[in-house]
């Protein structure tokens, strides 16, 4: 096991431990997602699919991330909340929202969809189902509910729910 003394010896304090966790584990795992988003096409569907697939890849690498996200970022007082707001929020969600906004202005995003809230929805479609998978497996009797099954559903939902009329075809 790990004792508080060991943590203090190796990291010095809680902030250093949190920073080590995020910079050594989380940020490298998120890098492929960032790279995919930087190179993907401009349509909302391509962008949303790349985000969903990228998050799926991150969760495959770090299966504990969705539960950690809910507990330590979303919940008030979470240990990772401030770091995420300081280090992650200024870039990834903002860039994604700006790209959706450009698509919206070009008429490539379905009317009524707020580009900023689309980012929120994408997080909700990817991290929450993964965090709650054990609950849904039990509630719906779906023992095979895993990340590939969730991703298949999410991509189908995105493919049919985001396409502006007659401008994009689902894949």
Structural domains of the chain in order of their starting residue, each with its CATH number: 4-161 (1.10.357.10)
- Is the pLDDT reported for residue 89 higher than 80? no
* DSSP secondary structure string for all residues of 8-74: HHHHSSHHHHHHHHIIIIIHHHHHHHHHHHHHS-SSHHHHHHHHHHHHHHHHHH-TTHHHHHIIIII
- Alpha carbon distances (Å) from 61 to 24, 82, 91, 133, 163: 13, 23, 22, 16, 30
Looking at the whole model, is its pTM more than 0.85? no
Tens of pLDDT, residue by residue over 56-66, are 999 999 999 99
Residues 102, 42 contacting (CB under 8 angstroms): yes
Please give the residue that has the higher pLDDT: either 116 or 26: 116
Question: Rounded to a whole number, what is the distance in angstroms from the first to the last CA of the chain?
Answer: 48
């Amino acid at each position: 096991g790990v004792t508080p003394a060991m943590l203090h010896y190796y990291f010095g304090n809680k902030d250093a431990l949190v920073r080590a966790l995020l910079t050594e584990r989380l940020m490298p795992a998120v890098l492929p997602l960032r790279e995919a988003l930087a190179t993907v096409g401009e349509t909302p569907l391509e962008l949303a699919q790349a985000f969903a697939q990228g998050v799926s890849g991150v969760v495959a690498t770090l299966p504990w991330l969705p539960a950690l996200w809910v507990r330590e970022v979303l919940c008030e007082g979470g240990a990772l909340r401030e770091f995420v707001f300081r280090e992650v929020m200024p870039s990834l969600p903002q860039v994604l929202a700006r790209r959706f906004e450009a698509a919206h202005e070009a008429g490539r995003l379905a009317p009524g969809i707020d580009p900023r809230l689309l980012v929120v929805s994408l997080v909700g479609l990817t991290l929450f189902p993964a965090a709650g998978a054990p609950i849904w497996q039990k509630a719906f009797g779906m023992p095979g509910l895993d990340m590939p099954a969730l991703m298949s559903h999410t991509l189908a939902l995105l493919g049919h729910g985001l396409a502006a009329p007659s401008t994009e075809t689902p894949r």
